[in-house]
Amino acid sequence: MPVRKWMLTRRVLGQAGAATALAAVVGRPARADRPYRIGALNPITGAGSTYGSGMQKTILFALEEVKRAGGVDGRPIEVYAEDTQTSPDAAVLAARKLIDANKVDAIIGTWSSSVSLAVLPITNEANCLLLHTSSAPALSTPAQNPKHLAWRFQAASHQIGDAYAAIAAHEKASRAAAMAFNNDVQIASVGFFRSAWEKAGGKLPNPVVYEPNRTSYAAELQQALSEKPDFLVVSGYVPDTSIILREAYEAGNTAKIVIPGWAMGPATVKALGAEVLEGLIVVDAVPDAGSAAFKTFDAAYRAATGNPGSSNIYAAMCYDMVAVLTLAMQKAGPSADNAAIAQVIPEVANPPGQAVSSFAEGRKLLQAGQKINYEGASGPIDFDERGDVTPVFGVSVFHDGKLEQRYLLK
Amino acid sequence: MQGYLTAVGTVGGIYALLALGLNLQYGFTGLINFGVVAFYAVGAYTSALLALRGVPFVLDFAAAAVLAALFAWPLGVMCLRLRDDYLAIVTLAFAEILRTVIVSEEWLTNGTRGIPGIPRPFSGLGAAAGGFAYLALVLAAMLAGVSLTVRLVGSPFGRLIQAIRDDEDAVRSVGKSPARCKLVVFMIGAGLTGLAGALYAHYLTYISPDQFVPLLTFYVWIAVIMGGAGRVGGAIAGAALLTLFLEGSRFLRDVLPFVSEVQMASLRLAAIGLMLILFTLYRPQGLLGRVAR
């Protein structure tokens, strides 16, 4: 009996070993010429799965588009895809696999802040670019981003917070209040709202932090409304925001409510009805829906996923990541390393320069030796000195059953 | 490739250390601990916070193990006299309570923002050598865990705890106190788990509450059950097998080129699930199953 067991064990171990060996062999493509390799590291499964597969598909079709336009001169591009599982540990191993086994030069499309924060030390160590859509302030501090290899395509928490304060000023609010979903991004946003608002001379009681996955937020709402504010920021996501909006309506709330755009989906209107939502203020670093880049992206996104491009702002960001990265590669030349590519990212994305909305357009102008300024699907894509995109926020008000854009905050 | 394999080895080693802790508790003593991740988090946060305040690494790791063991003490006192199932309920709840506490106590843990920039030992040696040195440290910790388990299990105390697992009433009838022994084992296992947490925190250099979710507990259970509960080698084999499933499946797409990238991610998790199901169906006693009793 024991003998047979041991043999079975050895056989199992043997198979396991063979599998590893096979994995090691097939996982290492050996090529003489060195293409530029991009790792698409997105949240396909886990909490980010609503956006992740759209993000990855976008990266793939955007790179196809680059290829159709003639590609980056002297630089073939390969792409490798991985799943972060929206979990930092899984993402770390996936990033290591992309960097060490697939030898990627850039990782693009990490979504949640905890994943980006965990992956960032690895990309820095390997001199690999990291283009992400996370809003944690720590991601662009000199300590975490010493080589300027990380670029943020999403509004950072402080920018969102400042936008809330600007709206409060615009709406002539006198007593403001705030509620935040209990996570890094939302708490930081209302924290920055508070400091910006108090700097402007306003006062804000302690923001009410609420937990995910509750069936009612009546108690938290009551607490937030206890000082009779006329302006309330609710910084959360679709499910919790819907509950809060309904309960605020039922409680006869009169304060103007402001929510971020990602906290309102098509289902929100259907579920709550026009009456509940009347007067609701929605702020978002909206994709520049009029822009040419957005139209191209939207058509391709519909073809790839069957959904409108406006349903996935992070996919629009991924589209811009590919455009900015490839344009920077084009500008930096075929032998440039990542430090040189990173250095020219602001040169292709920021003004001055002729506005372009696609890789094809930009490539032609760059070949002619002109300056360009990429205007993207998720916004104008201009970076500050920390590598954070400076978004344009659109402020919309829900009126008569639909959302009407009222003004822009720049 | 070498860097990736080092990373896989490091994470696998940390899983092995976790599995050793749980194997001591469940495999040898029959304690159903569903709160592995809680002691892991205690170790990770303790070590990270101390290291960021300039305490030397050796003391950080020691403090992580000791504090995790101390957290196990009140839980053990409360529920080890009761039936086994209660420990399962209490530890599962404890893990969730602890996570909520970590989220709320921002002054200490930085809340949901997590703690970035945790120093890593050997980082001065450069990427490749530093990675190797860290892998060696993890493997050394794992071997220390193995030798501790072997010594403990071979001692009279080890025979006693296995007797408790097999028949608690019989042990009581010969005048031994099962509750006390179980408490000691529970704390030692928690200490090993805390050490694994410390190794994890310094390896990842960033920790946040959403890394300490119950899923991790069940990964460790999978490792122990697949490896063979109640065998010292079982914990190691199980952790190795789990890591092989989790990481080997990443290369599936290289042999299945007709599957699209996006589908592959979901398919990969399905494949892991299928492998686990098939494994438990055809090898229910685990890779190094306990000799039939």
User: Hey, of B52, B210, B244, which one would you mutate to test binding to chain A, going by the most A CBs within 10 A of its CB?
Assistant: B210
Min Cα separation B283/chain A (Å):
10
Q: How far apart are CA A408 and CA A137, in angstroms?
A: 23
Q: Which residue type occupies B188? A: I
In this complex, the residue of A45, A143, A182 whose CB is nearest that of residue B103 is: A182
Per-residue pLDDT tens for B100-119?
Answer: 899 888 899 988 888 988 99
Chain A neighbors of B289, CB-CB under 8 A: 5
The DSSP string of B52-104 is HTT--HHHHHHHHHHHHHHHHHHHHHHHTTS-HHHHHHHHHHHHHHHHHHHHH
Asked if B197 and B43 touch (Cβ cutoff 8 Å), the reply is yes
Reduced to 3 states, what is the DSSP secondary structure of residue A179?
A: strand
Q: Return the pLDDT at B258.
A: 74
Partners of A12 on chain B (C-beta within 8 Å) are 283, 287
Q: Closest Cα to residue A102, out of A111, A93, A110, A113?
A: A93
Instruction: Please check whether the two domains, A34-155+287-379 and A157-284+391-409, share a CATH topology.
Output: yes
- Kindly provide the ipTM of the predicted complex, given to two decimals: 0.84
Mean pLDDT of B148-173: 92
Range with the lowest mean pLDDT among B7-16, B131-140, B171-180? B171-180
By C-alpha distance, the chain B residue nearest A20 is B248
* Per-residue pLDDT, A31: 38
Task: Determine, for residues A83 and B283 on separate chains, whether the beta-carbon distance falls below 8 Å.
Answer: no
Chain B, 191 to 210: residues with Cβ < 8 Å from chain A are 200, 204-206, 208, 210
Helix (H, G, I), strand (E, B) or coil at A338: helix
Of A9, A22, A187, which has the smallest distance from its Cβ to B287's Cβ? A9
pLDDT band at residue B285 under the 50/70/90 scheme: confident
CATH 3.30.465.10 fits domain A34-155+287-379: no
Q: Is the peptide bond preceding residue A352 cis, with omega within 30 degrees of 0?
A: yes
Residue A128 has φ and ψ, to the nearest 5°, of -110, 140
Query: Is A94 near chain B, with CB under 8 Å?
Result: yes
Q: Nearest C-alpha of chain B: how many angstroms from A341?
A: 22
Give the mean model confidence (pLDDT) for residues B195-220.
92
Yes or no, beta carbons of B112 and A82 under 8 Å apart? no
Rounded CA separation A180/A311 (Å): 23
Nearest to A99 among B3, B208, B254 (CB): B3
Instruction: Please report, as a single letter, which amino acid is at residue A409.
Output: L
For residue B143 the two structure tokens come to: 């071997």
- Proportion of chain B above pLDDT 70, given as a percent: 99
Contact pairs from chain A to chain B, CB under 8 Å: 132
Query: From CA A100, how far away is CA A121, in angstroms rounded?
Result: 14
- Contact flag B206-A2 (C-beta cutoff 8 Å): no
For A105-260, where are the E strands, in sequence order?
106-110, 129-132, 150-152, 176-181, 208-210, 231-235, 256-260
The CATH architecture assigned to A157-284+391-409 reads 3-Layer(aba) Sandwich (3.40)
CA distances (Å), origin A319, targets A316, B48, B225, B271: 5, 37, 44, 30
Among A162-166, B61-65, B151-155, B249-253, the minimum mean pLDDT is found in B249-253
Domains of chain A by residue range: 34-155+287-379, 157-284+391-409
pLDDT block averages, 10 residues each, chain A of length 410: 43 50 42 78 87 93 95 93 89 92 94 90 93 89 91 89 92 92 84 92 88 88 91 88 93 91 78 90 73 90 89 90 96 92 94 92 94 90 90 87 82
- Residue window 242-281, chain B: list those with CB within 8 Å of chain A: 244, 246-248, 250-251, 253-255, 261-262, 264-266, 268-269
Q: Which residues contact B100 (CB under 8 A, 6 or more apart)?
A: none
